Structure 1
Amino acid sequence: MARAIQTRWKINGTLKAETPIYIGGMGGNADTDLALAVNGCGNYYIPGTSLAGALRGWMSKPFREAELKEPNHSINHLWGFQDANSNGHASFIVIEDAEIKGSSNIEIREGVGIDRHTGAAADKAKYSRAILPKGVTFPLSITLDCQQDQTPDELWKLLLFLEDGKIRIGGAKTRGLGKVKLEDVKIEKHILNTASGLFDSLLKQNLQQDWQKIKAALGQYYSPAELTLTIAWQPKDPVMVKTEGDGIAIDILPLVSQVDTDVKFVIPGSSIKGVLRTHAERIVRTVIGIDITPDREGKPKFNEQIKLYKANKPIELVDAIFGSAEKSKDNNSEGKIGALYIDDCHAAIPMTVENWSAVENASSMMVNNFRPLVEAAIDRSEDPYKVLQPAMHVAVDRWTGGAAEGMLYSVLEPIGVSWETIGLYLDLDRLQKYDSNLIKPAIALLLLVLRDFANRKIPIGYGTNRGMGTVEVTEITMNCSPINELAGIETKTEISSDLSSLGDLLTPLTEAWQNWITQHQEAA
């Protein structure tokens, strides 16, 4: 039987990708392990189910899981539900599939697991992912049916968060992907329970609503608790992430990513998050005294290492911050999305696609032949790239002490490149749901990691054991929601490299960290 509907709201707008986006399709292909979703016309698109899941998940953030199981809960009433007895109803919100506008060149990002013993790439833990580049746009079309003539304030708040870029969509959201912003919002109201309203709706008259007036009437609204950190930095050595493919004359090129119509050097959020996680694990294992029992061969393989880590309770703090992969095939879920989000970090100055292609396809490394291509690829108006030319490297023969045969290679090393800031976002609401007792230890551990990063103990990118990747942090700024038992954290705006600028906050954070260590040392 059809539902009685009095009012219908139609919302249309454009979502613009602030970071690259990954929406998984069916399996992989010859080019990548994790392919993008493609619709029946062969075009890249974002399914309405993906958008609806992200929006419903965001709207559910203020509520506990037990609350969301109640059939009469407002979230279930709006988005629909089905209980164990097959009772429920369909959603009152309809979200259309969103086809990517215009032609878009996809990018391939490589990922790899890190062996906890060697610190190198783990065996059989490498994968590739296709992504849509930063700057792509796609339409957002939402229809809301109301059983009464009511104003859907919760939906308006959702649109505000989309305008602020707070809601992420797709996969790898905590590793630099999925951030979008809503633009060009248009709202129509269809009144269906009166003859005049239905007549206007049929003729498309007097339907447009003023979004600015709707926003002004909302007043205060719930904002999820979050700790935001912005790190301004500059390289002290060449800093880059290696691209998977090789150039013609140059063996190793820095990774670039498309930004609107240009390209920029990029350090993926996954790369930054990986090195910070490794250091956080090192801190936890050191203070608790965690060891991994080797297998008969003397070293457990990568998957066994992960299982052994999960057997240690203290690693749950690291998993709560950085996340953990799903390994179980039964109903006992082991997967956990991390509370920490880290965005991609781009170089400050863009290059044209054509000129960077000329660099990739340069047929000679002779300075006179190569330098004009580099200079053409770079906007040198402010001279941000002091040096950008191939550096030659060679492996040393352990027997002769000379250059090893066939081991000469070249690297295009970006030296003196200006970079944008690194953005980190710690979802305090998610930590609260995992365990409220983890909030202060998690903040303490994250600040310890950033202290070591600011003191040049954590290099990033490619070749970090070979003179590359050292950075100098020039400023760390902070913006945090109020937190119980951490009075004043919302007023702190800057963090020094020794954390002394935290002032009175150092005492409760230190106590929480030491209590957490003592508790888990006793358990061990």
Structure 2
Amino acid sequence: MLKRWLCHAEVTIDLECLDPILVKSGQPTIDGPDMVPVVSMRSGEREYFIPGSSLKGAFRSHTEKLIRTLKPNSVCAPYIETSQDADSLNDLHQSCSTALRPKQKAEAYRLSCPTCRTFGSLSFGGRLSPSDALPVGPKPIVEERDGVAIDRFTGGAVRGAKFNMLVITAGTFRTTLTLRNFEFWQLGIVHILIEDLSQGLIRIGSGKSRGLGRVKGNLVNYKVSYVKPQEELCGIGELCTPEERRSYGFHLAEYRTPSLGEPQVRGLQHVYNITDRYHEFSPVLAKAFIDFVEQGYKPDWLTQIKRGVR
């Protein structure tokens, strides 16, 4: 986006297992459990981890629920395509990727829903990307668990429908959320994710309906950086040119935040560490996100897409 670098944020979070978690590898073992966690070789040893793609999917799904709660029909449904002669009501379920695929990146971004703007679509890359969550501290503990299918009439086990799985019952995994050229309200999404993770409200992996996947997030590090020094927290809408703002539809945030303090200069970057003062910024970030969703679409984004496509 813009082919230049204006702002950047890195948020490091530790994910602690509250319930057993299982992010399946998709490759069952020959003589072991039917379902096993993903594993990687690191420093010559097999190591369990949580893929960044799995985290991104969980975070995106949670964000979609939040936005739909604030404003119904304000996010698309990814991977759903609608034929041109289908009923117009089905357009509510059409993904931004399908509707905006022929468009240029700037126009596609401007017409996209808030979730696609943040996490990406087939037209452009997302602003937010989580890294693989690697274990920190004590080695994760795994155990094998059995499961059976239940006959709905007898209430007993279905013969031949037994399965077993290897789950991670204890451990802490560290991931870093990276935001590139972010809009101010997108920092509000990260704020909501941090708060909901700290309360164990976001589940990851498989078996969520069976009590798996609950984790607790703990903020480790929060850094924002800009090319030029800034007195307050801001986004790309305040840093780009008016022409770029109109072209991409960047939201101009008019919020006052606490002072960022003195930066640490690294090359062209002016880095501000706000980890210890994060809660000072929380109220304004939450307000920016809510205001953007509730008031940022006049008319509704669906109408804008139809106008742009037709």
CA change 1:510–1:257 in 2 (3 A) is closer
Shift of 1:405: 1.8
Alignment equivalent of 1:516, drawn from 292, 296, 304: 292
Alignment equivalent of 2:135, drawn from 321, 327, 347: 347
Structure 1 counterpart of 2:18, one-letter code = K
Shift of 1:250: 1.7
Q: For residue 423 of structure 1, what is the aligned residue in structure 2?
A: 176
2:193 counterpart of 1:449 = yes
Paired residues for 1:74-85 under 5 Å: none
Q: For residue 411 of structure 1, what is the aligned residue in structure 2?
A: 165
Structure 2 Cα separation of the partners of residues 508 and 228 of structure 1: 19
Structure 2 Cα separation of the partners of residues 274 and 301 of structure 1: 13
Structure 2 Cα separation of the partners of residues 507 and 474 of structure 1: 18
CA change 1:280–1:413 in 2 (3 A) is same
CA change 1:512–1:394 in 2 (3 A) is same
Shift of 1:341: 2.0
Shift of 1:61: 1.7
Query: Does the 8 Å CA contact 1:280/1:446 hold for their aligned counterparts?
Result: no
Structure 2 Cα separation of the partners of residues 464 and 264 of structure 1: 23
Q: Write out the 4+ residue segments of structure 1 that deviate beyond 6 Å after TM superposition.
A: 311-314
- RMSD over aligned CA atoms reads 3.2
Secondary structure at 1:465 match in 2: helix
CA change 1:314–1:450 in 2 (3 A) is farther
CA deviations on 1:241-267 (whole Å, 9 max, x unpaired) are 111111213211111012243221121
Structure 1 counterpart of 2:222, one-letter code = M
Structure 1 counterpart of 2:292, one-letter code = W
Q: For residue 213 of structure 2, what is the aligned residue in structure 1?
A: 469
Shift of 1:406: 1.7
Structure 1 Cα separation of the partners of residues 92 and 133 of structure 2: 28
Higher relative contact order (CA 8 A, sep 6+): 2
Query: Does the 8 Å CA contact 1:288/1:520 hold for their aligned counterparts?
Result: no
CA change 1:237–1:513 in 2 (3 A) is closer
Query: Does the 8 Å CA contact 1:444/1:510 hold for their aligned counterparts?
Result: yes
CA deviations on 1:155-196 (whole Å, 9 max, x unpaired) are xxxxxxxxxxxxxxxxxxxxxxxxxxxxxxxxxxxxxxxxxx
CA deviations on 1:256-302 (whole Å, 9 max, x unpaired) are 01224322112110000000001111111221111799xxxxx9973
2:24 counterpart of 1:238 = no
Structure 2 Cα separation of the partners of residues 292 and 232 of structure 1: 29
**Pair member with larger Rg:** 1
Query: Does the 8 Å CA contact 2:24/2:38 hold for their aligned counterparts?
Result: yes
Alignment equivalent of 1:324, drawn from 94, 102, 121: 121
Secondary structure at 2:21 match in 1: coil
CA change 1:392–1:447 in 2 (3 A) is same
Structure 2 Cα separation of the partners of residues 466 and 476 of structure 1: 30
Shift of 1:464: 1.7
Structure 2 counterpart of 1:303, one-letter code = E
Q: For residue 4 of structure 2, what is the aligned residue in structure 1?
A: 61
Consecutive unaligned residues of structure 1, counting only runs of 5 or more, are: 1-56, 63-223, 294-298, 326-334, 350-381, 432-438, 496-500
Q: For residue 70 of structure 2, what is the aligned residue in structure 1?
A: 287
Structure 2 Cα separation of the partners of residues 491 and 343 of structure 1: 19
CA change 1:317–1:502 in 2 (3 A) is same
Shift of 1:477: 2.5
Paired residues for 1:375-390 under 5 Å: 384-386=139-141, 388-390=142-144
Shift of 1:450: 2.4
Structure 2 Cα separation of the partners of residues 491 and 348 of structure 1: 22
Q: For residue 303 of structure 1, what is the aligned residue in structure 2?
A: 81
Structure 1 counterpart of 2:114, one-letter code = L
Structure 2 Cα separation of the partners of residues 300 and 272 of structure 1: 17
Shift of 1:419: 3.1
Structure 1 Cα separation of the partners of residues 158 and 53 of structure 2: 34
Query: Does the 8 Å CA contact 2:67/2:75 hold for their aligned counterparts?
Result: no
Q: For residue 126 of structure 2, what is the aligned residue in structure 1?
A: 338
| TM-score of the pair, normalised by structure 1 | 0.42
Structure 2 Cα separation of the partners of residues 259 and 475 of structure 1: 25
Query: Does the 8 Å CA contact 1:252/1:410 hold for their aligned counterparts?
Result: yes
Shift of 1:443: 1.0
Q: For residue 275 of structure 1, what is the aligned residue in structure 2?
A: 58
Paired residues for 1:80-119 under 5 Å: none
Structure 2 counterpart of 1:258, one-letter code = M
Structure 2 Cα separation of the partners of residues 425 and 300 of structure 1: 22
Query: Does the 8 Å CA contact 2:48/2:140 hold for their aligned counterparts?
Result: no
CA change 1:522–1:509 in 2 (3 A) is same
Query: Does the 8 Å CA contact 1:239/1:460 hold for their aligned counterparts?
Result: yes
Query: Does the 8 Å CA contact 2:50/2:173 hold for their aligned counterparts?
Result: no
2:151 counterpart of 1:397 = yes
Structure 2 Cα separation of the partners of residues 321 and 516 of structure 1: 13
Structure 2 counterpart of 1:324, one-letter code = S
Structure 2 Cα separation of the partners of residues 494 and 464 of structure 1: 33
Structure 1 counterpart of 2:120, one-letter code = G
CA change 1:401–1:456 in 2 (3 A) is same
Shift of 1:488: 2.6
Shift of 1:307: 6.4
Structure 2 counterpart of 1:426, one-letter code = L
Shift of 1:422: 1.1
Query: Does the 8 Å CA contact 1:272/1:342 hold for their aligned counterparts?
Result: yes
Query: Does the 8 Å CA contact 2:146/2:164 hold for their aligned counterparts?
Result: yes
| TM-score of the pair, normalised by structure 2 | 0.68
Shift of 1:502: 2.2
